[in-house]
Structure 1
Amino acid sequence: MMKKVLVSVVEDDPFFRESMYRLMRSLGYTVDVFSCAADLLGSPRLAETACLIADIHMPGMTGLELYRRLIDTGNAIPTILVTAFPNDADRARALNDGVLCYLRKPVDEDQLTRCVSAALISDGSPEEES
Protein backbone atom coordinates (compact mmCIF):
# COMPACT_ATOMS: atom_id res chain seq x y z
CA MET A 1 0.00 0.00 0.00
CA MET A 2 1.34 3.41 -0.99
CA LYS A 3 1.77 6.03 1.72
CA LYS A 4 -0.46 9.05 1.23
CA VAL A 5 1.51 12.03 0.00
CA LEU A 6 0.94 15.46 1.58
CA VAL A 7 0.20 18.33 -0.79
CA SER A 8 -0.02 21.78 0.82
CA VAL A 9 -2.06 24.56 -0.79
CA VAL A 10 -1.51 28.22 0.15
CA GLU A 11 -4.24 30.39 -1.34
CA ASP A 12 -5.97 33.48 0.01
CA ASP A 13 -9.07 33.02 -2.17
CA PRO A 14 -11.45 30.68 -0.28
CA PHE A 15 -13.16 29.41 -3.44
CA PHE A 16 -9.90 28.51 -5.19
CA ARG A 17 -8.45 27.05 -1.98
CA GLU A 18 -11.47 24.74 -1.60
CA SER A 19 -11.32 23.81 -5.28
CA MET A 20 -7.64 22.82 -5.00
CA TYR A 21 -8.39 20.89 -1.82
CA ARG A 22 -11.12 18.86 -3.52
CA LEU A 23 -9.06 18.20 -6.65
CA MET A 24 -5.99 17.01 -4.73
CA ARG A 25 -8.16 14.81 -2.46
CA SER A 26 -9.86 13.31 -5.54
CA LEU A 27 -6.41 12.37 -6.83
CA GLY A 28 -5.66 10.49 -3.61
CA TYR A 29 -3.40 12.99 -1.86
CA THR A 30 -3.55 14.12 1.75
CA VAL A 31 -4.09 17.88 1.62
CA ASP A 32 -3.40 20.73 4.03
CA VAL A 33 -4.78 24.14 3.07
CA PHE A 34 -3.64 27.54 4.34
CA SER A 35 -4.99 31.02 3.72
CA CYS A 36 -1.55 32.68 3.97
CA ALA A 37 2.14 31.87 3.78
CA ALA A 38 2.69 32.45 7.51
CA ASP A 39 0.21 29.68 8.34
CA LEU A 40 2.14 27.19 6.21
CA LEU A 41 5.46 28.28 7.71
CA GLY A 42 4.02 27.67 11.19
CA SER A 43 2.54 24.28 10.32
CA PRO A 44 3.83 21.29 12.30
CA ARG A 45 3.54 19.26 9.05
CA LEU A 46 5.65 21.61 6.90
CA ALA A 47 8.49 19.08 6.70
CA GLU A 48 6.05 16.39 5.49
CA THR A 49 4.89 18.47 2.52
CA ALA A 50 5.89 16.70 -0.71
CA CYS A 51 4.44 19.35 -3.04
CA LEU A 52 3.37 22.96 -2.56
CA ILE A 53 0.75 24.77 -4.62
CA ALA A 54 0.79 28.50 -3.86
CA ASP A 55 -0.85 31.60 -5.25
CA ILE A 56 1.63 34.24 -6.35
CA HIS A 57 -0.36 37.31 -5.31
CA MET A 58 -1.27 37.10 -1.62
CA PRO A 59 -1.25 39.66 1.18
CA GLY A 60 1.75 39.53 3.50
CA MET A 61 4.05 37.23 1.56
CA THR A 62 3.77 36.33 -2.11
CA GLY A 63 4.03 32.76 -3.36
CA LEU A 64 7.47 33.47 -4.81
CA GLU A 65 8.65 35.01 -1.52
CA LEU A 66 7.31 31.93 0.28
CA TYR A 67 9.22 29.65 -2.09
CA ARG A 68 12.46 31.60 -1.49
CA ARG A 69 11.92 31.53 2.28
CA LEU A 70 11.50 27.75 2.17
CA ILE A 71 14.71 27.36 0.16
CA ASP A 72 16.61 29.72 2.49
CA THR A 73 15.51 27.75 5.56
CA GLY A 74 16.43 24.35 4.09
CA ASN A 75 12.86 23.31 3.27
CA ALA A 76 13.16 22.83 -0.48
CA ILE A 77 9.66 21.71 -1.49
CA PRO A 78 8.75 21.17 -5.15
CA THR A 79 6.52 24.17 -5.81
CA ILE A 80 3.79 25.04 -8.29
CA LEU A 81 2.84 28.71 -8.47
CA VAL A 82 -0.56 29.80 -9.74
CA THR A 83 -1.77 33.28 -10.63
CA ALA A 84 -4.71 35.13 -12.08
CA PHE A 85 -2.28 37.84 -13.20
CA PRO A 86 0.50 36.12 -15.15
CA ASN A 87 3.40 38.11 -16.51
CA ASP A 88 6.64 37.21 -18.22
CA ALA A 89 8.88 38.74 -15.54
CA ASP A 90 7.28 36.75 -12.69
CA ARG A 91 7.29 33.56 -14.76
CA ALA A 92 10.96 33.93 -15.71
CA ARG A 93 11.97 34.76 -12.12
CA ALA A 94 9.99 31.83 -10.70
CA LEU A 95 11.28 29.23 -13.15
CA ASN A 96 14.84 30.58 -12.85
CA ASP A 97 14.61 30.24 -9.06
CA GLY A 98 13.59 26.58 -9.42
CA VAL A 99 9.79 26.68 -9.22
CA LEU A 100 8.51 23.58 -10.97
CA CYS A 101 5.44 25.04 -12.71
CA TYR A 102 3.92 28.48 -13.24
CA LEU A 103 0.23 28.22 -14.09
CA ARG A 104 -2.51 30.66 -14.99
CA LYS A 105 -5.87 30.67 -13.19
CA PRO A 106 -8.29 29.18 -13.85
CA VAL A 107 -5.92 26.24 -13.67
CA ASP A 108 -6.22 23.46 -16.22
CA GLU A 109 -6.72 20.35 -14.06
CA ASP A 110 -4.78 18.05 -16.39
CA GLN A 111 -1.82 20.40 -16.44
CA LEU A 112 -1.89 20.79 -12.66
CA THR A 113 -2.07 17.01 -12.27
CA ARG A 114 1.02 16.64 -14.51
CA CYS A 115 2.85 19.26 -12.45
CA VAL A 116 2.04 17.53 -9.16
CA SER A 117 3.16 14.19 -10.62
CA ALA A 118 6.41 15.80 -11.77
CA ALA A 119 6.91 17.29 -8.31
CA LEU A 120 6.69 13.85 -6.76
CA ILE A 121 9.41 12.31 -8.92
CA SER A 122 13.03 13.32 -8.57
CA ASP A 123 13.59 14.09 -12.24
CA GLY A 124 10.59 16.39 -12.70
CA SER A 125 11.19 19.01 -15.33
CA PRO A 126 9.88 22.57 -15.20
CA GLU A 127 6.72 23.24 -17.10
CA GLU A 128 4.82 26.40 -17.80
CA GLU A 129 1.57 27.12 -19.50
CA SER A 130 2.03 27.81 -23.18
Structure 2
Amino acid sequence: MLNRTLIAIVDDDQLYRESMRKLVVLMGYTVEAFPSAADFLASRFLPETACLIADVHMPGMTGVELHRHLVDAGYAIPTILVTAYPDEVVRDRALKDGIACYLSKPVDDDHLERCLRSALQPGTPIEDNS
Protein backbone atom coordinates (compact mmCIF):
# COMPACT_ATOMS: atom_id res chain seq x y z
CA MET A 1 0.00 0.00 0.00
CA LEU A 2 1.43 3.36 -1.07
CA ASN A 3 1.73 6.02 1.60
CA ARG A 4 0.87 9.47 0.21
CA THR A 5 3.33 11.04 2.65
CA LEU A 6 5.93 12.79 0.47
CA ILE A 7 9.60 12.26 1.25
CA ALA A 8 12.06 14.51 -0.61
CA ILE A 9 15.60 13.29 -1.21
CA VAL A 10 18.34 15.80 -2.05
CA ASP A 11 21.74 14.35 -2.98
CA ASP A 12 24.18 15.39 -5.70
CA ASP A 13 25.36 11.78 -6.22
CA GLN A 14 22.97 10.41 -8.87
CA LEU A 15 23.56 6.72 -8.10
CA TYR A 16 23.12 7.21 -4.36
CA ARG A 17 20.09 9.46 -4.86
CA GLU A 18 18.43 6.84 -7.07
CA SER A 19 19.19 3.94 -4.71
CA MET A 20 17.88 5.96 -1.73
CA ARG A 21 14.74 6.83 -3.73
CA LYS A 22 14.13 3.14 -4.47
CA LEU A 23 14.71 2.17 -0.83
CA VAL A 24 12.27 4.75 0.53
CA VAL A 25 9.67 3.78 -2.10
CA LEU A 26 10.06 0.15 -0.97
CA MET A 27 9.30 1.37 2.56
CA GLY A 28 5.95 2.52 1.17
CA TYR A 29 6.45 6.27 0.82
CA THR A 30 5.89 8.63 -2.09
CA VAL A 31 9.29 10.06 -3.08
CA GLU A 32 10.65 12.94 -5.15
CA ALA A 33 14.42 13.18 -5.63
CA PHE A 34 16.52 16.24 -6.46
CA PRO A 35 20.19 16.68 -7.46
CA SER A 36 20.63 19.93 -5.49
CA ALA A 37 19.15 22.05 -2.73
CA ALA A 38 18.33 24.73 -5.32
CA ASP A 39 16.32 22.24 -7.40
CA PHE A 40 14.36 21.17 -4.32
CA LEU A 41 13.72 24.76 -3.20
CA ALA A 42 12.47 25.68 -6.70
CA SER A 43 10.18 22.63 -6.95
CA ARG A 44 6.41 22.54 -6.59
CA PHE A 45 6.91 19.72 -4.04
CA LEU A 46 8.44 21.90 -1.32
CA PRO A 47 5.11 22.83 0.37
CA GLU A 48 3.89 19.23 0.52
CA THR A 49 7.15 17.62 1.69
CA ALA A 50 6.58 15.77 4.97
CA CYS A 51 10.23 14.80 5.50
CA LEU A 52 13.53 15.68 3.85
CA ILE A 53 16.54 13.38 3.44
CA ALA A 54 19.57 15.47 2.43
CA ASP A 55 23.26 14.84 1.91
CA VAL A 56 25.48 16.88 4.21
CA HIS A 57 28.18 17.59 1.60
CA MET A 58 26.81 19.04 -1.66
CA PRO A 59 28.08 21.80 -3.91
CA GLY A 60 26.20 25.07 -3.64
CA MET A 61 24.10 24.57 -0.51
CA THR A 62 24.93 21.79 1.96
CA GLY A 63 22.29 19.71 3.71
CA VAL A 64 22.92 21.64 6.93
CA GLU A 65 22.50 24.98 5.11
CA LEU A 66 19.35 23.68 3.40
CA HIS A 67 17.81 22.76 6.77
CA ARG A 68 18.72 26.18 8.20
CA HIS A 69 17.24 27.92 5.12
CA LEU A 70 13.97 25.97 5.45
CA VAL A 71 13.68 26.81 9.16
CA ASP A 72 14.42 30.50 8.48
CA ALA A 73 11.79 30.50 5.69
CA GLY A 74 9.16 29.03 8.04
CA TYR A 75 9.11 25.46 6.72
CA ALA A 76 9.01 22.99 9.61
CA ILE A 77 10.12 19.97 7.56
CA PRO A 78 11.69 17.19 9.64
CA THR A 79 15.13 16.60 8.15
CA ILE A 80 17.39 13.54 8.08
CA LEU A 81 20.99 14.22 7.10
CA VAL A 82 23.18 11.56 5.49
CA THR A 83 26.92 11.76 4.94
CA ALA A 84 29.82 9.71 3.67
CA TYR A 85 32.11 11.79 5.91
CA PRO A 86 30.72 11.64 9.47
CA ASP A 87 31.89 14.48 11.69
CA GLU A 88 30.92 14.59 15.37
CA VAL A 89 31.05 18.41 15.52
CA VAL A 90 28.73 18.75 12.51
CA ARG A 91 26.50 15.99 13.91
CA ASP A 92 26.19 17.59 17.34
CA ARG A 93 25.48 21.05 15.88
CA ALA A 94 22.91 19.61 13.43
CA LEU A 95 21.08 17.71 16.18
CA LYS A 96 21.01 20.87 18.34
CA ASP A 97 19.59 22.69 15.29
CA GLY A 98 16.68 20.25 15.18
CA ILE A 99 17.82 17.66 12.63
CA ALA A 100 15.75 14.48 13.15
CA CYS A 101 18.63 12.07 12.41
CA TYR A 102 22.26 12.21 11.26
CA LEU A 103 23.20 8.99 9.42
CA SER A 104 26.42 7.72 7.90
CA LYS A 105 26.57 6.24 4.41
CA PRO A 106 25.98 3.47 3.68
CA VAL A 107 22.74 3.97 5.59
CA ASP A 108 21.35 1.05 7.58
CA ASP A 109 17.87 0.37 6.13
CA ASP A 110 16.28 -0.37 9.51
CA HIS A 111 17.79 2.70 11.15
CA LEU A 112 16.58 4.88 8.26
CA GLU A 113 13.08 3.45 8.59
CA ARG A 114 13.07 4.20 12.34
CA CYS A 115 14.31 7.74 11.63
CA LEU A 116 11.54 8.30 9.07
CA ARG A 117 8.86 7.03 11.47
CA SER A 118 10.24 9.22 14.27
CA ALA A 119 10.49 12.29 12.00
CA LEU A 120 6.93 11.84 10.77
CA GLN A 121 5.51 11.10 14.23
CA PRO A 122 7.30 13.34 16.74
CA GLY A 123 7.70 11.70 20.10
CA THR A 124 8.35 8.26 18.58
CA PRO A 125 11.66 6.94 19.96
CA ILE A 126 14.33 6.04 17.41
CA GLU A 127 15.90 3.22 19.46
CA ASP A 128 19.46 4.02 18.38
CA ASN A 129 21.39 0.76 18.15
CA SER A 130 24.51 2.19 16.56
- Same-fold call, TM > 0.5? yes
- Answer yes or no: is the 8 Å Cα contact 2:54–2:81 preserved in 1: yes
Q: Any unmatched runs of 5+ in structure 1?
A: none
What is aligned with 2:44? Answer: 44
Output the CA distance in 2 between the equivalents of 1:98 and 1:121.
Answer: 14
Aligned partner of residue 4 in structure 2, secondary structure: coil
Q: TM-score, normalised by structure 2?
A: 0.93
Percent identity between the aligned chains? 56
Q: Which amino acid aligns with 2:42?
A: G
Q: Which amino acid aligns with 2:36?
A: C
Map 1:30-109 to 2 at 5 A. Answer: 30-109=30-109
Q: Which amino acid aligns with 2:85?
A: F
Output the CA distance in 1 between the equivalents of 2:99 and 2:128.
Answer: 10
What is aligned with 1:17? Answer: 17
Could you give the per-residue CA deviations for residues 11-58 of structure 1, whole angstroms, max 9, x where no partner exists? 000111011110111111110000000011111110110110000000
Cα distance 1:61–1:123, how it changes in 2: closer, same or farther (>3 A)?
A: same
- Aligned-residue CA RMSD (Å): 1.8
Q: Any unmatched runs of 5+ in structure 2?
A: none
Q: Which moved more, 1:59-68 or 1:3-12?
A: 3-12
Q: Which amino acid aligns with 2:118?
A: A
Q: TM-score, normalised by structure 1?
A: 0.93
Output the CA distance in 2 between the equivalents of 1:102 and 1:72.
Answer: 20
CA shift for structure 1 position 110: 0.5
Output the CA distance in 1 between the equivalents of 2:127 and 2:40.
Answer: 24
Cα distance 1:125–1:96, how it changes in 2: closer, same or farther (>3 A)?
A: farther
* Alignment length (residue pairs): 130
Cα distance 1:128–1:61, how it changes in 2: closer, same or farther (>3 A)?
A: farther
- Answer yes or no: is the 8 Å Cα contact 2:3–2:28 preserved in 1: no
